[in-house]
Chain A
Amino acid sequence: MRVRVAPYVEFAKKAFAREATYRMEVLTEIGSLVLRVYILRSLWTALYAQNAAPINLPLHGMITYATVAMLMSLILEVDGTRLIREKVREGTIATDLMKPISVPLYFFSDGIGQTLLHAVLVVPSLFCALLLVRIDVPSPATIAAFALSFVIGYGVNFFLNFLMNSIAFWTLETFAAQLIVRWASDLLSGQIIPLTLFPGIFGRIVFGLPFAAIYSTPLLIYVGVIPSSQWALSIALQAVWLVAFAAIASVVWRAASNRVIVQGG
């Protein structure tokens, strides 16, 4: 069956417009980002003054890492599928199921719309951040590899959120599960601390976890810790996680919609 694109483009547009209505929130977001960049710069500078630079990442590299991670979080912290949780709890998912649309595609395009609005915010945020810190700009090839890796990481993050929010189909409440995953991912994704700083065997394990595909891989490509010879391998590993998560998400969605259909929401 042919999929009509028009509704999904429209969903994305509406989500974009909806996010933009909360102007105050948007401004606060940029403000808090600038503050966080400043704090991290001070923190890393102080830490580096105490120790010799760990693992071939000098201070300016570390500050670049932290700042780019902050900018990435503008996009990655958008929970594009929180609509699932809200709609399941309020029961409005029933009206969506009564429409001639693919409901998971609806959630996906709505998430894309929200993300795009926040992606637009990256530009002014970057300028604000540059007032406080200097960041390294790598070669165009590295930036391209970073961009590709970031897009895949976005996908992994999206499906992870999708799965978390789908828990609502069974429990209605997803707070506890989300808290745990959020906590694990903050620590293990490389958003705050580069995974190369983890010691010994633990340091090896974290690279094998899916969280590393979200922040760590693109960031380590950006700052040059992952050399160009290993780009292909690192990105391939991310892609494996993406495919695996997408597959799990589709199985979960089928079970979830069956549950709605059999139990009646």
Chain B
Amino acid sequence: MAKRRVLPIIECTKLRKIFRTPKRMPGPLGALRSLVSRAYEERAAVDAVSFRLEPGELVGYIGPNGAGKSTTIKMLTGILVPTSGEVRVAGIVPWRQRKENGRNIGVVFGQRSQLYWDLPLIESFELLRAIYGIGRDQYRRNLDEFIEILQLGDFLRTPVRQLSLGQRMRGDFAAALLHGPRVVYLDEPTIGLDVVAKESIREFIARINSERGTTVILTTHDLADVERLCRRIILIDRGTLIYDGDIERIKTEYGQFRTLIVRFSEHVARPALEGAELVNTEDSSARFRFNRNLQRADLLVRQASERYSVEDVSLEEPDLESIIRRIYVEGYQSSSAENGA
């Protein structure tokens, strides 16, 4: 990675948020008791998380349910005060200057809409124009662009409550970006969408990021979103940051094992290759697992075609999903040095 010269647009330093929740006592008597006297327990939703983003980065912020993703995003948007630690977005402390911060950011929640439910889509956009004080020209330009890319033309005058989920999401994206924010937080933006709609949303995110240089933090459970869009991911689990860096690096470290699939033109009883382990055989093909650091794929292919009559070969790279699942279970152990932030 190049030396960091640019001022970070987002900077979190030892960010921590502790929630105090009433302790529930078991049983009906316990429920009565907790009405009168309450014991509290404290839980760190986010614990000493530090990271920084440069302008124009598109980062996947990943973690299982309850890992602290939303809590972090809430602190970045200024609606939640951190218990300790520091946070700055475009030079502003979000919770101190909530309104100023509001001008710099755009937010899309896949689960809830910020559009006016009863009114035609276009009226929500006009309302946002007034809220952000967007100039006529900029408004026109942005709106025209979004109508074209997101194909909003057909339902601009339809009340939002009558839109399909895919249409509503596209409307929400336009709404979040009309004022040209420098940072966009996307919380599960593709949840519940069909493959076509998912792809068009992903394309839009990529385009906004590359053409406008908008910094994007993407929170999602759909790792296909992340693989398609992000170079860098931040992994968080039980409130703590467990990985921050390139997706490729995590793949090389964790995904040493590739799979070679060989299809034979005749039946082979027990195929074997040196330097690879047979996983299974099915009809006339076999799957071999091998360590990419110890074994070259092309040599294995040559070996296979020397030994057997081979019709076809293909190679499977490790997928992010299985890697990340393993990290959640085993924890992250880096072989190389800590990622210098």
A interface residues (Cβ-Cβ under 8 A, vs B) = 4, 6-7, 9-11, 14, 17-18, 21, 90-92, 94-95, 97-102, 260-265
| Pairwise interchain contact A6-B133, C-beta atoms closer than 8 A | yes
Chain B 107-139 residues near chain A, CB threshold 8 A: 107, 109, 112, 114, 116, 118-119, 123, 126-127, 130-133
Are A14 and B123 CB-contacts (below 8 A) given A98-B107, A261-B79, A261-B80?
yes
The complex places the Cα of A90 from the Cα of B77 at a distance, in Å, of: 18
| Pairwise interchain contact B74-A264, C-beta atoms closer than 8 A | yes
Decide if B40 is an interface residue (CB 8 Å cutoff). Answer: no
Query: Closest chain B residue to A17 by CB distance?
Result: B119
20 contacts between A and B (CB under 8 A): A6-B130, A7-B133, A14-B123, A14-B127, A17-B119, A90-B112, A94-B77, A95-B114, A97-B78, A97-B98, A98-B78, A99-B99, A99-B132, A100-B99, A100-B100, A102-B99, A261-B81, A262-B81, A263-B19, A264-B19
The answer, among B95, B98, B123, B130, for a CB contact under 8 Å with A7, is B130
The answer, among A90, A98, A263, for a CB contact under 8 Å with B105, is A98
Q: Is the interface of A mostly helix, strand, loop or mixed?
A: helix
| Pairwise interchain contact B133-A4, C-beta atoms closer than 8 A | yes
| Pairwise interchain contact B79-A18, C-beta atoms closer than 8 A | no
The answer, among A10, A92, A97, A262, for a CB contact under 8 Å with B131, is A10
- Inter-chain contact count A-B, CB under 8 Å? 77
Count of residues in B whose CB is under 8 Å from the partner chain: 31
Decide if B102 is an interface residue (CB 8 Å cutoff). Answer: yes
The complex places the Cα of A99 from the Cα of B176 at a distance, in Å, of: 10
Query: Closest chain B residue to A5 by CB distance?
Result: B130
Measured between C-beta atoms, what is the minimum distance from B263 to chain A in Å?
Answer: 52
Decide if B103 is an interface residue (CB 8 Å cutoff). Answer: yes
| Pairwise interchain contact A17-B123, C-beta atoms closer than 8 A | yes
Query: Closest chain A residue to B185 by CB distance?
Result: A98
Measured between C-beta atoms, what is the minimum distance from A108 to chain B in Å?
Answer: 15
Decide if B71 is an interface residue (CB 8 Å cutoff). Answer: yes
| Pairwise interchain contact A7-B80, C-beta atoms closer than 8 A | no
The answer, among A18, A92, A101, for a CB contact under 8 Å with B112, is A92
Query: Closest chain A residue to B102 by CB distance?
Result: A100
Q: Residues of B contacting A4 with CB < 8 Å?
A: 133
| Pairwise interchain contact A94-B119, C-beta atoms closer than 8 A | no
Chain B 1-46 residues near chain A, CB threshold 8 A: 17, 19
Query: Closest chain A residue to B98 by CB distance?
Result: A97
Chain B 177-222 residues near chain A, CB threshold 8 A: none
Query: Closest chain A residue to B70 by CB distance?
Result: A264
| Pairwise interchain contact A11-B127, C-beta atoms closer than 8 A | yes
The complex places the Cα of A261 from the Cα of B80 at a distance, in Å, of: 4
| Pairwise interchain contact B126-A10, C-beta atoms closer than 8 A | yes
The complex places the Cα of A6 from the Cα of B118 at a distance, in Å, of: 21
| Pairwise interchain contact A18-B116, C-beta atoms closer than 8 A | yes
Q: Residues of B contacting A99 with CB < 8 Å?
A: 99, 102, 131-132
The complex places the Cα of A4 from the Cα of B130 at a distance, in Å, of: 9
The complex places the Cα of A17 from the Cα of B117 at a distance, in Å, of: 12
| Pairwise interchain contact B103-A100, C-beta atoms closer than 8 A | yes
The complex places the Cα of A99 from the Cα of B104 at a distance, in Å, of: 10
The complex places the Cα of A99 from the Cα of B78 at a distance, in Å, of: 10
Known: A17-B123, A261-B79, A262-B80. 11 other contacts (CB 8 A): A21-B159, A92-B112, A95-B112, A97-B77, A98-B79, A98-B107, A99-B99, A99-B132, A101-B102, A261-B95, A264-B80
The complex places the Cα of A6 from the Cα of B79 at a distance, in Å, of: 24
Q: Residues of A contacting B80 with CB < 8 Å?
A: 261-262, 264
Chain B 62-84 residues near chain A, CB threshold 8 A: 71, 74, 77-81
The complex places the Cα of A131 from the Cα of B109 at a distance, in Å, of: 53
Q: Residues of B contacting A92 with CB < 8 Å?
A: 112, 114
Are A101 and B99 CB-contacts (below 8 A) given A6-B133, A11-B127, A17-B119?
yes
